[in-house]
Amino acid sequence: MRRMTLLINADDTLWESNVFFEKTIEHFFALVEPFGYPQDYARRILNETERLNIRQHGYGVRSFGRSLEETYMKLGGSLAQRSALKEVSEMLSDLERTPPHVLEGVPETLSYLAARHRMLLFTEGEAAEQAAKVERSGVQGFFDAIEIVAKKSSAAYQDMVNRHHVVKSAGWVVGNNPRTDINPALQAGLNAAFVPHASTWESDHGELQSGMGKLLVVARFRDLRDHF
C-alpha cells in the first residue's frame, strides 16, 4: 500500500546541475578578466543580471545565456569583442549538451521509494530543456507523473496538491533548495525533506523556515530510505 505522495525535485537533488553552470561561469570570468574588474565585482553584476532575467524569463540555459551576454556587455562596454560573445554562445551549447550526471544512490533509492509511495517529479525551468534532462537521466520510469513549472512557489505547490489530489499531511516535498523547494512547500502546508547539495546556486542559499508541515533534514538522498 502506498502511504505517502513524494514530490521530488530534479536539479541538484537527482542529478548534478549547478556544478556545470559554475564551470561555465569560471570560463566566463576568464573572458571578462581583461576588462580589469575584480572577480567578486563581476560575480555581483552577473548575479544581479540573473535575478532580473529569471523574473522575466524563468530558469534555464537560455535565461542564463542571456545573463552572461548582458553581463559581458555591461563590463566590456566599448572594449567588448564579438568573438567573445561567440565563445559565450559555444559555452552555452556545450552546457545544453551536457548529459545529466545522476547522483550516487539515487536510482536505488528511487526504486525503493517507488515501490512504497506515489512519486511525482516536480521541477522548475524551461519546459523542453527540463523534459530532455528527465528523459536522458533514465529516472522517469520511477514517477507516476512529471510536472515542470517556470518557477516554484507556494501557489505552484497548492496547484500540484489540487491537480493530483494530494493529502497534505501525507505529502512530502524532497529537494535541495530552501528558497524554491522547502520553504514554499512548508508554507503551502506540505511536509518537506531537505537534502543539502554542496553546489547549490549561491542566490538560492537561505534559511530553512517553519511552516504548517513537518521538516526533515537528511545528509544524502539515499538516507530517505530510513524515513519513507
What are residue 133's DSSP bridge partners? Answer: none
The per-residue pLDDT for 206 is 65
CATH of 5-16+100-226, one of 3.40.50.300, 3.40.50.1000, 3.40.50.2300, 1.10.3720.10: 3.40.50.1000
pTM to 2 decimals?
0.80
Q: Which regions in the chain score pLDDT beneath 70?
A: 1-2, 199-206
Domain positions in the chain: 5-16+100-226, 18-97
Q: Return the pLDDT at 211.
A: 72
- Per-residue pLDDT tens digits for 83-115: 999 999 998 888 888 888 999 999 999 999 999
Neighbours of 117 (CB within 10 A): 18
Instruction: Give the other-Cβ count within 10 Å of 127's Cβ.
Output: 14
Name the grid cell of 6.
513524494
Which CATH number does 18-97 carry? 1.10.150.240
What's the pLDDT score for residue 203?
52
CB atoms within 10 A of CB 157: 26
Q: Cell 520510469 sits at which residue?
A: 141
Give the C-alpha separation, 191 to 211, whole Å. Answer: 9
